Structure 1
Amino acid sequence: MAYDSRSNSLEEHWMPFSDNRGFKKDPRLVVKAEGTHLIDHRGGRVLDGSSGLFCSPAGHCHPKIVEAVHKQMQEYTYVMPFQVGHPGSFALAERISRLTPEPINHVFFVNSGSEAVDTALKIAMAYHHARGDARSRFVSRERAYHGVNIGGVSLSGMVKNRDIFHATIPGVVMMRHTHNPEEKFIPGGHSEHRGVELANDLQRICETYGAGNIAAVFVEPVAGSTGALPPPVGYLKRLREICDQHGILLVFDEVITGFGRMGTNFAAQHYDVVPDIMTMAKALTNGSIPMGAVAVKDEIYETVTGGSPDGLTEFFHGYTYSGHPAACAAGLAMMDILEEEDLVARTHDMIPYFQDAMMSLKDHDMVNDIRVAGFMAGIEVHQGAMPGLRGTTLQKEMFWNGLSVKFTGDNAIIAPQFIMEKEHIDEIVDKFRSSLDQHEG
């Protein structure tokens, strides 16, 4: 749909996470997308350097997904998910369980990553309740992003996402983040220092608040939205040990890292640490239909479902659109694409080239640090007149320079589509560098 400024003021839409006033003065509208590129309303071609918001690694408008959703919508468009079902949701859950590490084999469908996190919170509560264990505290981290619903905001360690939203859930305690500003431009992003020490924050929290009061620990294996912070060596394994010691559930928020971003199905396999619960979304349907999911270990599912009398609802939670038929069709098509196009292995093989390409930007005077984790990188630019202003301005300038990149504050987050070739990676670097060269802020 073309943009016509004479008939559409853009005023009525309140945009999320956006400079609404600035955008409506200088809109950046996408009117078409194909493969690795977006087409803006002026007719320009824009390379998608962040896979949308990490959502579309198989490329925009993938014909297999378009066909699958179209076919599904001709058969049935909606089925009530409470006490009624349809084949697609069961088929998709089974396909997802092939990718998750054992024994994570049960999947609860939601509509976004934010809903997945809130659902994981409630599953943790339900699990401990079914065991007769009244645990009410949760542990998260500084600089964490776990969505924007009240549960996720309560776990958030990104201050702008919570500083005016005070009605959060009580009993959340924060561990330190894992970023060390003194360690910069580390190849592969894996710090060899302080992993166990930082993870021992959880042990201190157990000693301070009582381990028997802590229900679950939420971590992003790689802290994504805050600027791609990889875990230091030994960090995730030590968290797993402490959780096992005290009966605490370990939750991996894999909304960004799931379905191939780390060169493995999930970051859990990349770091060889199996959580108890995993949240996922984004690439699940290649961003084509909103969908998220929570996958849990068999023991959690069996404990919760076995905690109620036969014939009664065991878990009083769900959404009107849980496991929506169109979303399931898109998800099943995406599972086929991952397998048939061997996208995870392809990404794994591309990571060394990607890492070297990203690190080539470290000589630019405006670049403060570069962190690479799998097929994702955080490029931090030096702060301008105030925190986040330079990054926000650069995001706009890069778009008109033919590159779409997500910025959080002064951190650019590069997350290429899995279908990209080396020349696409080179193009990202070239356009990123030229945008820095042209920037006057």
Structure 2
Amino acid sequence: MVNEAHPVLTGPALWSAQAHMPSVLGRQIIIERAQGSYVFTADGQRLFDGTAGLWHANVGHSRPELAEAAYTQMQRVETYHIFGRYLNDRAVELGEVLAGLSPIANPKVILNSGGSDAIDVACKLARRHWQAEGRRTKTAILSREFAYHGLHAYGTSIAGLQFNRDGYGTESLVPETARVSAYDINAVEQTVLEIGASNIAAIVAEPIQGTGGVNPPLPGYLEGLQRICRENDILLIADEVITGFGRMGEMFATERYGLQPDLITFAKGITSGYAPLGGVLVSPRVWERFYRDTDETPVFRHGATYAGHATACAVALRHLDLLEEEKLLPRVKELEGALTEGLKSLDGLAGVAETRVAGLLGGISLREDLSAEALTDALIKDGFITRPLRGNTVQVSPPFITTNEELRELVGAIEAAVVAQHGGR
């Protein structure tokens, strides 16, 4: 029986995501409004959003252009489903725009409600593809150590973060998954050999590992992954939920790294978080079998109530226009240089083990005697939101509209917090 004095009885009814509840009760920070690169708490504190929410607030918060797009669409039709014969005009329009932006030539576009949905669909489609091809042993989905691919059943099963896999009574919620090395391409090749290419449907990889610690790929790694997939007839799924729509200074990270995946998952940046939307770009190699006009053509059973939600699609279309109108992708490249320079200045600090930057994603790995969680808590008090990640890493991923001065202030606050926490330079 819970003691009546326990804070669980006086805390909010809302169950916080990804939280050890006894640790956060009484410490929750309630955001009640936001503007640009800043959020404001219920008790009046102004915080610089150094993580762009969960990597998504790329154009900043409370943009009237996106609110107007949603309002206007809802007055026409809030949404209509896209099952069977039915479509809505905004989903059709967005599909055409995404096909034009896609690094995959002549893709089909599957829309759903977010990144976890997208991963679930992509992994199922990879398996369905090989079953339709008559290669029924190709069922295993491989993913990388330290990978994060959402928390639906498939995302949980292919997670490379063990704490996201534990506690469900089985090694993998969905069977036939395995992890490969995040850095050593020769070790990846060995794992593929051990499992057998005839048993592997796909390899899933984030071009830049996000939640795993902001880990850019080592030179040649992604290219090697693509080569292994091509040589062994394995589908390559690029998880661009974080990196898609500009965070690498290109529309997609696969363009930056010269990759040609079979499937690309996306979410967050397509609407800057203004509406829940995600999806999958599908190459002709995969989609053509499901479009042939024959008696043997299979059906791929995908879809959710809010797949292709008209209002979410209207917001996405206006957001993609904003990226172009405000030249935010070139701006990301400028900010990447400024962030690289800023984080390099932290490399000499006692307590800092390493800094990493790719696009507008930064990671600061701390030494064992300094806690990333304690540091990010201290930064909140100083007016800056950052986030602790795996590997005792502090995440920095501000909105694309961030100014150079705001970036300097953020880096300066991190430096001051490291010095204060560590007791000197």
Same fold (TM over 0.5): yes
Shift, 1:305, TM fit = 2.9
Asked whether 1:95 is paired with 2:81, we answer no
Q: Which residue of 1 aligns with 2:258?
A: 272
Unaligned runs of 5+ in 1: 1-7, 179-197
What's the counterpart of residue 57 of structure 2? Answer: 56
Preserved CA contact (<8 Å) 2:262 2:285? no
Give the equivalent residue in structure 1 for 2:174. Answer: 169
Residue 296 of structure 1 corresponds to which residue in structure 2?
282
What corresponds to 2:127 in structure 1? 125
CA distance in 2, matches of 1:324, 1:76: 10
CA-based RMSD: 2.0
Query: What amino acid is aligned across from residue 367 of structure 2 in structure 1?
Result: H
Where does residue 5 of structure 2 map in the other structure? none
Partner residue in 2 for 1:414? 396
Matched residue SS, 2:178: strand
Deviations 1:217-242, CA, capped at 9 Å, x for gaps: 01111111111111111111111112
Matched residue, 1:229: 215
Alpha-carbon separation, structure 2, partners of 1:162 and 1:109: 26
The alpha carbon displacement at 1:307 in A equals 8.2
The amino acid of 2:73's aligned partner reads Q
2:4 equivalent in structure 1: none
Shift of 1:342: 1.4
2:13 match:
12
Alpha-carbon contact 1:120-1:279 (below 8 Å) kept: yes
1:375-394 per-position Cα deviation (integer Å, ceiling 9, x unaligned): 11111122359xxxx22232
Residue 332 of structure 1, CA deviation:
0.7
Q: In structure 2, what is the equivalent of residue 262 of structure 1? A: 248
The answer as to 2:71 corresponding to 1:70 is yes
For 2:48, the aligned partner's letter is L
Q: Amino acid of the residue matched to residue 68 of structure 1?
A: A
Rate the CA distance shift 1:10–1:65 in 2: closer, same or farther, 3 A. Answer: farther
CA contact (8 A) 1:36 1:60 kept: yes
Q: CA deviation at 1:200?
A: 2.9
Note the C-alpha offset of 1:9: 4.4
Q: How many Å separate the matches in 2 of 1:91 and 1:223? A: 31
Structure-2 separation of matches of 1:429 and 1:104: 42
CA contact (8 A) 1:137 1:172 kept: yes
Q: Is the 8 A contact 2:51 2:385 kept in 1?
A: yes
- Out of 291, 311, 319, which is 2:304 matched to? 319
Say whether the 8 Å CA contact 1:252–1:278 is kept in structure 2. Answer: yes
- In 1: Cα distance, 2:295 partner to 2:316 partner: 33
Aligned to 1:401: 382
Question: After superposition, where does 1:277-356 map in structure 2 within 5 Å?
Answer: 277-306=263-292, 309=295, 314-356=299-341
2:111 and 2:308 in contact (8 A); partners too: yes
- 1:5-55 C-alpha deviation (Å, 9 max, x unpaired): xxx944311100124334332331111100011111222211111111111
Secondary structure in 2 matching 1:318: coil
Shift of 1:285: 0.7
Which residue of 2 is the match for residue 376 of structure 1? 361
Aligned to 1:367: 352
Number of residue-to-residue matches in the alignment: 410
| 1:260-301 deviations in Å (ceiling 9; x for gaps) | 111111110101111110011111111011111111112311
Matches of 2:202 and 2:19, distance apart in 1: 32
CA distance in 1, matches of 2:201, 2:338: 41
| TM value normalised by structure 1 | 0.89
2:34 pairs with 1:33: yes
Q: CA deviation at 1:201?
A: 2.9
Percent sequence identity is 32
